[in-house]
């Protein structure tokens, strides 16, 4: 599996994926800083890259609507790193330390579950300020 770190996350997350034995690069490393989300989606599909993002709603969709990736018939996969406190209805600061921790959680989960690909699947890592929850699901494609 090969990962592509979105611009909303630290490009150093690619190093974490590499430490876990995966190939990885980032928006910055590919000279795509400032690219539109739909261009990122097209790029990861064309290059068979699993997108790692904090910009979850745009790529996976929300409330029955597909996102830039899940609107496609086939997409390589998506890892969403989310930090939101439902009780207080506020976003939690996604500093570099938290980003690395959430990505490590996703990669360890994939390793423990022996997940060999994420085609048409999403891994959500949700941190609420107290605990972390991981969900793996097949996102319906609308293509």
HEC-encoded secondary structure of 70-135: CCCCCCCCEEEEEEEECCCCEECCCCHHHHHHHHHHHHHHHHHCCCCCCCCEEEEEEECCCCEEEE
- Hey, where are the domains in the chain? 2-138
3-state SS assignment for residue 68:
coil
Tell whether the model's pLDDT for residue 143 goes beyond 60: no
Contacts of 105 by beta carbon, 8 Å cutoff, 6+ apart: 125, 132, 134
Q: Are strands 78-85 and 121-127 parallel, antiparallel or unpaired?
A: parallel
Residues 6+ apart with CB under 8 A from 80: 53, 54, 56, 59, 60, 122, 123, 124, 125
**In the predicted structure, residue 141 carries a pLDDT above the cut 60:** no
**Model pLDDT, residue 61:** 80
Percentage of the chain beyond pLDDT 70 is 96
pTM, to two decimals: 0.92
Is residue 17 within a helix (H) or strand (E), and if so which, with residue range?
A: helix 13-19
Tens of pLDDT, residue by residue over 34-73, are: 999 999 999 999 999 999 999 888 888 876 677 888 788 8
Q: How many residues are present in the chain?
A: 143
């Amino acid at each position: 599996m090969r990962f592509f770190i979105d611009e909303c996350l630290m490009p150093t997350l690619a190093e974490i994926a590499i430490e876990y034995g995966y190939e990885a690069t980032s928006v910055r490393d590919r000279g795509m800083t400032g690219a539109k989300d739909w261009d990122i989606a097209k790029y990861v599909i064309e290059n068979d890259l699993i997108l790692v993002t904090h910009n979850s709603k745009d790529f996976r969709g929300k409330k029955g609507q597909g996102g830039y990736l899940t609107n496609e018939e086939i997409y390589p996969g998506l890892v969403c790193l989310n930090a939101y406190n439902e009780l207080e209805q506020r976003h939690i600061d996604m500093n570099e330390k938290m980003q690395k921790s959430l990505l490590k959680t996703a990669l360890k989960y994939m390793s423990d579950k022996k997940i060999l690909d994420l085609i048409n699947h999403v891994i959500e890592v949700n941190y609420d300020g107290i605990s972390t929850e991981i969900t793996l699901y097949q996102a319906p494609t609308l293509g």
